[in-house]
Amino acid sequence: MNMKLEDLGWDGVFMAHFERFHEEGLAPGRIAREERDLYGVYWQGGEVMAEVSGKMRHDAGSRSDLPAVGDWVAMHVRPGEGRGTIHAVLPRKSSFSRKEAGVHTEEQIAAANIDTVFLVTGLDRDFNLRRIERYLTLVWDCGASPVIVLNKADLCADVAARVEQVEAIAFGVPIHAVSAVTGGGVEALRLRLSRGKTAALLGSSGVGKSTLINALLGAERQAVRDVRASDGRGRHTTTRRELILLPGGGALIDNPGMRELQMWTDEDGLSGTFADVEEIAAQCRFRNCKHQSEPGCAVRQAIAAGALDAGRLRGYQKLQRELRHLERKQSEKARLAEKAKWKKIAQQARKTNKYGTEARY
Ligand code: GDP
Ligand code: ZN
């Protein structure tokens, strides 16, 4: 089976990055799924199962240096075996990362090279402007363009009013009200999945992401899911691609990593979403104003005057608290790593001394 790299999202930027690998006789491919240490990779010749070269694994400073779904890689392909070896990951256009569950806060790439993110919210009781703000922050921070999808329009009495509320917090972001169940508005949304572009869905559990993907893909989805792929040993397994190729030439990423995505962001992203709050806060008398009871607080004045919604300030402060928490966890992790390093050095030094002493006898 032949594949057009352009349909997979290949462009001039990736091509330029790839040049030196081309000279080494490697082929470009895009990660479609990940299974333990094996990757399903789309390339010109269809799909191969590939592993990371020993050197690349050894040189990787952290997990984010290894391939993730959506990544473009340079690989050596053995077409006869349906196998390949990955030697490098091309620089990412955008990347979505999450902190690992539990105590670690090591960055882990959930998906890479996404152009458009459909931010899905339900127009039922789930509707929450603050949450939309937080997701917007995340998308901007990751280098992708957001499209806000207000799903379950069939359950909402006044869709226009909701759209207006969202417009007020999402300056210039496209907004689509749809119903994944009745299909209303889905066609217009489908037009945003364009050739050579990669989209992904982001939103809380239960907002209708799966239903929407099915509505967007129609019967395709099932067909995609049921494709049987052969692995190198000739065994046949039913596989589920996390990078789904669309009939029109675009791609959609739907994987557990994106579904579990948690806040992994920084101050830049925060400023993007709360530009209005920050602009007002710049006029507070004290630079470190917490906007609580400080004198000369421009933010509280703006709220009292009705120029700023109190909910915006709460959303801003909540996000700041979460960022502080994440920061503390990260510095705690760095402190422990430093401690472990010195412990090792001290042990090494003791060992050397001992041998040194023994050698003299
Ligand atoms: P996910 O967790 O985001 O993937 O959400 P699901 O796609 O599993 O949907 C959660 C529930 O919402 C299911 O019971 C769906 O049938 C329902 N649902 C999804 N989209 C719509 C919609 O547009 N209208 C209504 N009324 N229900 C929907
Ligand atoms: Zn203030």
Q: Tell me, letter by letter, the H, E, C secondary structure of the chain.
A: CCCCCCCCCCCHHHHHHHHHHHHCCCEEEEEEEEECCEEEEEECCEEEEEEECHHHHHHCCCHHHCCCCCCEEEEEEEHHHCEEEEEEECCCCCEEEEECCCCCCCEEEEEECCCEEEEEEECCCCCCHHHHHHHHHHHHHHCCEEEEEEECHHHCCCHHHHHHHHHHHCCCCCEEECCCCCCCCHHHHHCCCCCCCEEEEECCCCCCHHHHHHHHHCCHHHHHHHCEEECCCCCEEECCCCEEECCCCCEEECCHHHHCCCCCCCHHHHHHHCHHHHHHHCCCCCCCCCCCCCCCCHHHHHHHCCCCCHHHHHHHHHHHHHHHHHHHHHHHHHHHHHHHHHHHHHHHHHHHHHHHHHHHC
Predicted local distance difference test score (pLDDT) of residue 270: 57
Higher pLDDT, 259 or 90: 90
The confidence score (pLDDT) of residue 260 equals 67
pLDDT, one tens digit per residue, over 262-304 is 444 444 455 556 778 888 999 999 988 989 889 999 999 999 9
- CA angle 270-274-277, nearest 5°? 130
Tokens of 63: 């997990």
Residue type, 36: R
The pLDDT assigned to 331 comes to: 66
Q: What is the mean pLDDT of residues 85-100?
A: 87
For residues 97 and 266, the answer to whether their CB atoms sit within 8 Å is no
- What is the atom index within ligand 1 of the atom nearest the CA of 204? 3
For the Cβ of 181 lying below 6 angstroms from any atom of ligand 1, the answer is yes
- Please state the length of the chain: 361
Does residue 185 surpass a pLDDT of 90? Answer: yes
Q: Per-residue pLDDT tens for 63-78?
A: 889 999 999 999 999 9
pLDDT number for residue 49: 96
* Sign of the CA dihedral with 142 first, then 61, 22, and 27 last: negative
Q: When comparing pLDDT for 31 and 204, which is higher? A: 31
Amino acid present at 186 = V
Across the chain, which distance is largest between two alpha carbons, in Å? 91
Kindly report the average pLDDT of the chain as a whole number: 82
Could you tell me if the CB of 216 is within 6 A of ligand 1? Answer: no
The reply to whether ligand 1 has any atom less than 6 angstroms from the CB of 152 is: yes
Over residues 26-31, mean pLDDT: 97
Cα dihedral 182, 188, 193, 199 sign: negative
Nearest CA to ligand 1 atom 9: 208
Ligand 1 contacts CB of residue 176 (under 6 A): no
Which residue has a Cα nearest atom 18 of ligand 1?
208
Rg of the chain, C-alpha, whole Å: 25
Which range in 117-131, 185-199, 257-271, 328-342 is most confidently predicted, on average pLDDT? 185-199
- Asked if residue 205 has its Cβ within 6 Å of ligand 1, the reply is yes
Closest Cα to atom 6 of ligand 1: 208
Residue minimizing CA distance to atom 24 of ligand 1: 152
Tokens for 346, please give them. 């001290």
Indicate the range of 237-241, 246-250, 251-255, 268-272 predicted with least confidence. 268-272
pLDDT at 127 over 90: no
Pocket of ligand 1 contains residue 179 by CB under 6 Å: yes
Select, from the ranges 123-132, 262-271, 325-334, the one with the highest average predicted confidence (pLDDT): 123-132
Q: What gap in Å lies between CA 182 and CA 186, rounded to an integer?
A: 9
> Whole-prediction pTM value?
0.71
Which of 105, 250, 126 is closest to 189 using CA atoms?
250
CB 202 less than 6 A from any atom of ligand 1: no
Q: Are 119 and 149 a contacting pair, CB within 8 Å?
A: yes
Statement: residue 360 has pLDDT above 60? no
Looking at all shown ligands, the one closest to residue 183's CA atom is: 1
Say what the pLDDT of residue 262 is.
Answer: 47
Ion ligand 2: residues, CB < 5 A: 284, 289, 291, 297, 299
Distance 40 CA to ligand 1 centre (A): 29
Query: Is 180 a pocket residue for ligand 1 (Cβ < 6 Å)?
Result: yes
**Would you tell me the crossing angle of helices 129-142 and 310-360 to the nearest 10 degrees?**
50
Binding site membership of 204 for ligand 1 (Cβ less than 6 Å): no
Q: Who's near 10: CB < 8 A, 6+ residues apart? A: 28, 30, 72, 196
Asked if residue 320 lies in contact with residue 310, where contact means CB atoms within 8 angstroms, the answer is no
Please give the pLDDT value at position 326. 65
Of 211, 213, 252, 261, the residue with max ligand 1 atoms within 8 A of its CB, to mutate for a pocket test, comes to 211
